[in-house]
Amino acid sequence: FQPLPAEAEHPADNPGTPERIDLGHKLFFEPKLSRSGIISCNTCHVVGAAGVDARDVAIGEGARTGPRNSPTVFNAAFLASQFWDGRAPTLEEQAKGPIQAHVEMDLTPAEAVDRLRETGYGPLFAAAFPGEADPLTFDNLARAIAAFERTLITPGAPFDRYLAGELDALTEQQKQGLELFQNSGCVGCHSGVMLGGNGFAAFTHVAGRGDIGRAAVTGREEDRYVFRIAPLRNVALTAPYFHDGSATALHEAISII
């Protein structure tokens, strides 16, 4: 186990300047990045509700639904890859996906850029990406959103304080739960800063439901029904659980595993 850092490191090719983070904040809440002008990133990753939408699966344009639950955006900066199948290696790559997905926001990159230009975002992009001949691009849109998302960090939980040596930060019942968590083998998958989230495992109770998991990314049969291990940060606030939202409560999720 490791305490959650107070800040996430920004990559060298996407520094978290105040101007870039501010632009990303605006874009995260910008509904014009969806075809209907109704849906934003915040629709499925609600910043005021632990970064999730509390639905089994997300609802996008035209009330269309995909097969997967919306993971929390909080602390996503510490994940080794994004999406339940790990198909995006960075937050920058992840930010491009929902805007273009037919079942989510349903815009082409060109349409997204044109809408932002028409809305008057040009000066904000120029300030966030100084020195670039054409700062208002789809790649820079994704960079700005990612820079903002790296500020959505939730350090200082009782467990973090416990790890830092504040032994009374957890109740006796919580300490008993931690001991059981370790002795039962849960820690084999749910460890590190995020208490999971950086590896993959087979999840065969969903076999036959159509979503083949990581195999759709790798093309390997051994990755059929393999999904990213869910991180447990803020888990009490992010129901329903698993990639398909098939567990409505923590005790149900634990019984499935």
Of 192, 207, 198, 10, the C-alpha closest to 86 is: 198
Span 86-102, pLDDT tens digits: 999 999 999 999 999 99
State both tokens at 73.
């955006």
Count how many Cα atoms sit within 13 Å of the Cα of residue 92 in the half-sphere of its side chain. Answer: 16
Average confidence score pLDDT of the chain: 95
Contact between residue 5 and residue 153 where contact means Cβ atoms under 8 Å apart: yes
* pLDDT attached to residue 102: 96
N-terminal to C-terminal alpha carbon distance within the chain? 20
State both tokens at 124.
């904000």
Q: How far apart, in whole angstroms, are the C-alpha atoms of residue 160 and residue 139?
A: 35
* pLDDT attached to residue 204: 73
Which DSSP symbol is given to 213?
B
Longest dimension (CA), the chain: 60
The answer to whether residue 34 scores a pLDDT higher than 90 is yes
Catalytic positions: 104
Hey, what amino acid is at 229? I
Q: How far apart, in whole angstroms, are the C-alpha atoms of residue 198 and residue 195?
A: 9
Span 104-128, pLDDT tens digits: 999 999 999 999 999 999 999 999 9
pLDDT band at 210 (very low <50, low <70, confident <90, very high): confident
* pLDDT attached to residue 208: 53
For range 165-180, the mean pLDDT:
97
Calculate ∠ Cα 229-142-241, nearest 5°: 25
User: Does residue 82 sit in helix, strand or coil?
Assistant: strand
Q: How far apart, in whole angstroms, are the C-alpha atoms of residue 157 and residue 162?
A: 9
* pLDDT attached to residue 256: 83
Q: How far apart, in whole angstroms, are the C-alpha atoms of residue 255 and residue 246?
A: 12
The answer to whether residue 10 scores a pLDDT higher than 70 is yes
Span 40-95, pLDDT tens digits: 999 999 999 999 999 999 999 999 998 899 999 999 999 999 999 999 999 999 99
Of 84, 51, 90, the C-alpha closest to 69 is: 84
Tell which phi-psi region holds residue 199, choosing left (phi > 0), alpha (psi between -120 and 50) or beta. Answer: beta
**Positive or negative CA dihedral for 17, 23, 26, 31?**
negative
Q: How far apart, in whole angstroms, are the C-alpha atoms of residue 141 and residue 239?
A: 30
For range 13-28, the mean pLDDT:
98
* pLDDT attached to residue 205: 73
Q: How far apart, in whole angstroms, are the C-alpha atoms of residue 158 and residue 146?
A: 27
Span 178-208, pLDDT tens digits: 999 999 999 999 999 999 999 999 987 765 5
Number of helices (H), then strands (E), belonging to the chain: the values are: 10, 2
Which DSSP symbol is given to 200?
E
